[in-house]
Structure 1
């Protein structure tokens, strides 16, 4: 291209040069051949120099244009591909701070069917079981925090409200939190296999309390202990309690094992203090309790629990037993018992029940909805027993035979169907003809989301 350009310019220059002497010959004397040849050479040399200069300038212009085109293309690509979202939490973490919003919403509905002659709150029911909002994060120096409020039931209640300090395997917690009663109670409601926990956890009044606790986890051993007063709603009481739990959690190949035990002592501290143990039939939206000790005058409570669980691929099994002894100043001290045995299996390939820190954790579907999969589908069976009869107290016996089907489309969404057959002995609500031994059917569904 450069050669053709030079030849075309030279041809034009030669034609102009040849025409110039002919025109000059008419105006003046004819120059010699050497003079004409020298003049032509000088003009050609000037033209070649000018061509070289123009070519250099053209190359520079083309290079600049190429750079400009590359910048334009890069900008166009950046516009076509959205910039990554900012991560303020990561920036905060550089200085030891972080902030994570938290929340969960659970909506339950279902029915409770009892004999027609039983005067109880049965039939259809529904409720917002939990509606929590809060935040958690880290603070400089190894500290952390977590705070959640629950807006369900037309009330505002505090769930976890804690400040923590962590140093390696050791963690200290102060504030409103669970006091290590059992595997079932410590497992988040987000990750349980039924819409309600085992009957004994609610019957024996397991709840969060204000206290100071310490936890040590190293290898397969987890040790937890704490001192507690009462929950946020009962800060005016003189309750004082001590709780401890020890867990061993070895792995045998791909099987996660869990073996644990706990002890609990609660000093009621008031002269006319009472306790009451009772429980609903599987679902929470009914106010009816078919087993109920009524108010018992008591000085203190002592509880002991045993835990065992195994997770092997899609299969899990878990069993717990808990004994609650009541120190009653005016009568014999009764000991009540509750426990359950459960098995579960994932019907979808690649899924397993989560486990972390001595409790069940989040199930993460191997093939979630939105990524070409169905999510996880889990089937569970449970036998749930609660005995509130002892030492002359007839609170009733509840035997529950329960099944659940849990579908998780994604990590943070869940739909569950639950059925329970409750067989009662010495129920506190008799039939019209005075019978206290009968059965109750409970059916419940849940829709759940959390973040």
Structure 2
């Protein structure tokens, strides 16, 4: 409720700025750091300080009305507000993702490795995969900010008494991108402070709304984003060369063990470098190369790596865990992740690999030294309707797909369109076995069809086929599944 009220107040303030003549704007309010009318009303001295200190009457306060800058509203793939002098920009938006999934396979393959009875197993399901609200913008051309929360999240408030189940969970909005940024700092570039994506992995840094398949590959789930959604609290610096064909981000972070970003005691280092050795025809042909690095201390000196199926059938606590190392002691970890992407008109090929070293590993009281876990994927995508993936140079990721023609069967102006259609296939694998740590292996295929009605609305259809060589004591076998997602982003 507090988040809802806060969002409503923010929207009301924006409307007051956008329509200064409206009743909403008549009450004295402070506007982007400008004192309100009530604050600038002269008052008499209080006997202790001269009036100039009690109620300053600087030229700035006298010109407060002039400095109240109105914003105008418009729609550009989302609700946006701008000032006429281009000094202020505000966007109010969000994402809704509704999934329906049908896992196919024996219940034993979907059993939780720890033998827990609270998972959904191979049940079919319909649920909100994500429900995010977002506010972002920039001020004076110098500062950027994002506030983004996911409301499709749940937590167990009685974890000390009962394991998580559908009966004892409460809705717990969790932070996603929540950061502020200062632009053009000498020597550093753009300095970002707050909860942000780790600078490793092309798909890890791709917006959830722009993913070509329902889920990121196994290596992302286990290595890039173990229980933290791929986010970390920290300070980073981002910059690029003048042509924007090379960009980088580097930062220092305090890693956490969950999406609620409680980071204690430990530190981590992250860096990502991306480049375009080939860029032609205004981006219709390009090659992307990237390298990410993530390393540092392990929170609480214990690590757990796990992976879930490539279609989910419930909230996080209930989704089957198909690979799991269990929690094991370790002191430090280092992850290296090379990236590759090729765009040639409607064709896109993208690949990543991740390898993780964990030092001072212990299993069942026996020292294992340094252990190594790894995974990767390669995928190919093709637009049947001739569009191409839009590459964002500064971030080194693919952005929003904009159909050449929006979906329209009403025959307006004697024109009809089915929007944009894309097919894709992906192979991925993950190996969590090394020495006495036996988390299992999985190899899988994903086949997808994406239908983009507009830049804001799409449907995704995925079929998965996975082979699991499970953790010690768990079944080995094949399973498959089908999933559908309705996605709207504004």
Q: TM-score normalised by the shorter chain: which range applies?
A: 0.7 to 0.9
Q: 1:189 to 1:291 in 2, by over 3 A?
A: same
CA distance in 2, matches of 1:264, 1:113: 36
**Local SS of the residue matching 1:99:** strand
CA distance in 2, matches of 1:409, 1:259: 31
> Does the 8 A contact of 1:245 with 1:262 survive in 2?
yes
Q: What RMSD, in angstroms, separates the aligned Cα atoms of the two structures?
A: 2.1
1:101 counterpart = 2:92? yes
- Per the TM alignment, residue 141 of structure 1 is displaced from its structure 2 partner at its CA by 5.2
- What are the Cα deviations for residues 224-258 of structure 1, in whole angstroms up to 9, with x where unaligned? 10000134624252221000111112314441210
> Does the 8 A contact of 1:298 with 1:326 survive in 2?
yes
CA distance in 1, matches of 2:472, 2:122: 15
CA distance in 1, matches of 2:406, 2:291: 36
Matches within 5 A, 1:8-19: none
Q: 1:355 to 1:141 in 2, by over 3 A?
A: closer
Pairing partner for 1:284 from 312, 327, 332? 312
Matches within 5 A, 1:154-233: 154-167=171-184, 170-206=189-225, 207-218=230-241, 219=243, 220-231=245-256, 233=260
Q: 1:205 to 1:295 in 2, by over 3 A?
A: farther
Which structure 2 residue ranges, 5 or more long, are not aligned?
1-70, 75-79, 112-120, 154-170, 362-366, 409-414
> Does the 8 A contact of 2:109 with 2:479 survive in 1?
no
TM-score scaled by length of structure 1:
0.76
Q: 1:95 to 1:315 in 2, by over 3 A?
A: closer
CA distance in 2, matches of 1:264, 1:119: 31
Which structure has the greater CA radius of gyration?
1
CA distance in 2, matches of 1:284, 1:263: 28
**Local SS of the residue matching 1:235:** coil
Which structure 1 residue ranges, 5 or more long, are not aligned?
1-84, 431-435
1:448 counterpart = 2:475? no
Structure with more helix by fraction: 1
- What are the Cα deviations for residues 282-325 of structure 1, in whole angstroms up to 9, with x where unaligned? 01235211211100111111100010001111100011100011
> Does the 8 A contact of 1:292 with 1:428 survive in 2?
no
Q: 1:93 to 1:230 in 2, by over 3 A?
A: farther
- Per the TM alignment, residue 161 of structure 1 is displaced from its structure 2 partner at its CA by 0.7
> Does the 8 A contact of 2:123 with 2:313 survive in 1?
no
CA distance in 2, matches of 1:354, 1:95: 25
- Per the TM alignment, residue 437 of structure 1 is displaced from its structure 2 partner at its CA by 2.3
> Does the 8 A contact of 1:290 with 1:428 survive in 2?
no
**418-427 vs 99-108, greater mean Cα deviation:** 418-427
> Does the 8 A contact of 1:403 with 1:418 survive in 2?
yes
- Per the TM alignment, residue 365 of structure 1 is displaced from its structure 2 partner at its CA by 0.4
Q: Which residue number in structure 2 is paired with residue 437 of structure 1? A: 476
Q: 1:93 to 1:428 in 2, by over 3 A?
A: farther
**130-139 vs 198-207, greater mean Cα deviation:** 198-207
Matches within 5 A, 1:413-428: 413-427=457-471
Q: Which residue number in structure 2 is paired with residue 92 of structure 1? A: 83
- Per the TM alignment, residue 99 of structure 1 is displaced from its structure 2 partner at its CA by 1.6
Q: 1:285 to 1:269 in 2, by over 3 A?
A: closer
Number of residue-to-residue matches in the alignment = 359
> Does the 8 A contact of 1:103 with 1:131 survive in 2?
yes
CA distance in 2, matches of 1:429, 1:450: 43
Q: Which residue number in structure 2 is paired with residue 379 of structure 1? A: 423
Q: Which residue number in structure 2 is paired with residue 346 of structure 1? A: 383
**Local SS of the residue matching 2:106:** coil
**Local SS of the residue matching 1:128:** strand
CA distance in 1, matches of 2:95, 2:353: 29
Q: Which residue number in structure 2 is paired with residue 318 of structure 1? A: 350
CA distance in 2, matches of 1:193, 1:375: 16
Q: 1:384 to 1:93 in 2, by over 3 A?
A: farther
Q: 1:172 to 1:109 in 2, by over 3 A?
A: same
Pairing partner for 1:245 from 257, 264, 272? 272
- Per the TM alignment, residue 102 of structure 1 is displaced from its structure 2 partner at its CA by 1.7
> Does the 8 A contact of 2:204 with 2:224 survive in 1?
no
